[in-house]
A and B are shown apart, each in its own frame.
Chain A
Amino acid sequence: MSDKNPKPMPESMIEHRLEELKDVPERNPLQAASGRARFLKEAAEYQQAVSPGKQVRQRGWIFPIRKEKFAMNALVSLILAASLLLGGSVTVAAAQDDLPNQPLYQVKLWTEDAALALAGTPQKQATVLMNMAQRRVEEMAALAEMGITPPAQVREQLEQDLNQTFTLASNMEEPALEQTLLQLRDHLQTQDRIMEQLQTHADSTTEPLLTQTRQMLQTRLRLVNEGLADPQGFHHMMENQMRYGQDEEATPEPNQQGEPGFHQNDQSGQSTNEPGAGNKTGGGTPGGQNSDGSQNGNGDNGAGNQTPGGQNPEHMQGGQGGNCPGGCGGNKK
């Protein structure tokens, strides 16, 4: 069908031929409305997937108290220093063994805050926080052995201290990250063992708190182990925690509709259908992998996944006061 020496088609003819493509049949209003409805439905599904994350972010283990707490610590240390000058050292020393139901317990917490404020590096701060967490566990154990159900605030404080440690670790590079995670793993394993022992003879009132605490510890232990195995993945996961308040894996995939023509049978793995793939022709997003091919119909990312950070909501609640600025430390005031 080809000529051997074809005469070039005039440019005006090309433009005319292109013009012919402009003639578009009117869009079927039913199809358009249906497409719109599907889009909004899908958007609602994504929104539902995002909303729990917001709650986790507000109430969860990447909690907003962090900055305020560190800022507050400076004030606390000043007060503490002043009190020491006024001869309060005996009081401070005496407070160190106090339990939550004892009068000098608050002084003990202030001392800890001061130590945290004075810790010079993130690694040192992490160590202080781990020691604080360890003390909370010991307090819970002491109370439980006395037949007293530990106040929920102690468990909340434990959770906060651990969470702050994770937050600090997420900003560390190797080898500090590995050292901190190893240290944290030892602490968590010890704490888990203590909780396990307490569970064996806990009464029915204390048992739920211990179980809850143990679950929380085990979840964090799993995260530590994952972080040790894959530090990059740990950073990524923590970053997602901070951005979305939940782990990436916990975001459920939307229902894929199996639209004919476009996203069915795309197994070539060569799709260029996201901006940024292939030619960079603008401000497209990086990566540009085929987002459908590998995930279509794969329901393994359901919301039910319990991830180290995005664990079960019941656990995340951790008491209403747990995450209010300056207030999770409500028991500290």
Chain B
Amino acid sequence: MKVNTPSEQALLKGALRFDKATLAKIYDLYSPELYRYAVRFLGDPSLAEDCVADTFSRFLKALSSGRGPQDHLRAYLYRIAHNLIVDYYRRAPDIVELKETHPGTDNTPEQEANLRMRQAQMRKAIQQLTPDQQKVIAFKYLQGWKNEEIAQTLNKPVGAIKSLQHRALASLQRILSKEKSL
């Protein structure tokens, strides 16, 4: 997916006018993927919804104060969401969510609990990476983006993204190996 398409520019133009239809389109277009991004990091659908709501609220505020994005709207929204997630972990670093339920899975309750623990452990491990490493891991492995998209979003060359990815995986190996395997 191209990140900064002409239609994104058109969306931004409409957003700057606070055009209701355009803003609704922006919300419909980006909120689902931002929700998935947030829930993968936070592991809690309610917190993820809050994160999405806050992301869009901040977007409006930025638009109204003239500090909104000039381009790369999608990347901009992701950056807000990611920073909110980082803030959240800063305030509640020991979060281990176990309340998720996955209707439709065939896991036994014990398997489900183990899965939740492993997920929480991985999220904690990701939080220990550098901000850029976190984003690369999230975009690449959680959102399934291509390196070119990540490069455009993070405004870095593709080579730098590969390097960040390599270092991030090495760090995760190190962090997770220190902990007892679940």
Contacts and interface: CB of A to CB of B under 8 A. Distances in A.
B46 interface: yes
22 contacts: A2-B179, A14-B173, A14-B176, A17-B176, A18-B137, A18-B141, A18-B142, A20-B118, A21-B40, A27-B32, A43-B23, A243-B66, A261-B88, A262-B88, A270-B90, A273-B54, A273-B80, A274-B67, A275-B80, A279-B131, A283-B70, A283-B75
B60 to A, nearest CB: 5
A314 interface: no
B60 A46 contact: yes
A271 B123 CA distance: 20
A272 B60 contact: no
Interface in B70-117: 70-72, 75-76, 79-80, 83-84, 86-88, 90-91, 100-102, 115
A8 to B, nearest CB: 5
Given A14-B169, A262-B54, A283-B72, 4 more contacts: A25-B102, A46-B63, A251-B64, A254-B61
Q: Place the interface of chain B in its size category.
A: 35 or more
Nearest to B18: A47
Contacts of A18: 122, 137, 141-142, 172
Interface in A2-43: 2-3, 6-11, 14-15, 17-25, 27-28, 31-32, 35-36, 38-40, 42-43
A268 B90 contact: yes
A11 B102 contact: no
B158 interface: no
Interface stretch (A111-119, A182-190, A284-292): A284-292
A72 interface: no
A259 interface: yes
A24 to B, nearest CB: 5
A271 B23 CA distance: 25
Interface of B: 18, 20, 23-24, 27-28, 31-32, 35-36, 39-40, 45-47, 49-54, 56-58, 60-72, 75-76, 79-80, 83-84, 86-88, 90-91, 100-102, 115, 118-119, 122-123, 131-132, 135, 137, 141-142, 144, 153-156, 169, 172-174, 176-181
Contacts of B63: 46
Nearest to A14: B172
A20 B115 CA distance: 8
B72 A282 contact: yes
Identify which of A39, A47, A292 gathers the most chain B CB atoms within 10 Å of its CB.
Answer: A39
Please classify the interface of chain B as helix (H, G, I), strand (E, B), loop, or mixed, using the class held by over half of its residues.
Answer: helix
B174 A274 contact: no
Identify which of A32, A257, A262 gathers the most chain B CB atoms within 10 Å of its CB.
Answer: A262
A262 B122 contact: no
Contacts, number: 210
A277 B173 contact: no
B27 A39 contact: yes
Q: Place the interface of chain A in its size category.
A: 35 or more
Nearest to B144: A22
Contacts of A251: 64-65
Interface string A136-148: 0000000000000
A50 interface: yes
Nearest to B155: A282
A266 interface: yes
B167 to A, nearest CB: 12
A15 B122 CA distance: 11
A261 to B, nearest CB: 4
A90 interface: no
A85 interface: no
A39 B57 contact: yes
Contacts of B65: 248, 251, 291
Contacts of B61: 46, 254, 291
Contacts of B47: 261-262
B178 A43 contact: no
Contacts of B51: 261-262
A48 B62 CA distance: 16
Contacts of A286: 67
A298 to B, nearest CB: 13
Given A20-B118, A279-B132, A283-B70, A49 B87 contact: no
B68 to A, nearest CB: 7
B142 A22 contact: yes
Identify which of A7, A46, A277 gathers the most chain B CB atoms within 10 Å of its CB.
Answer: A46
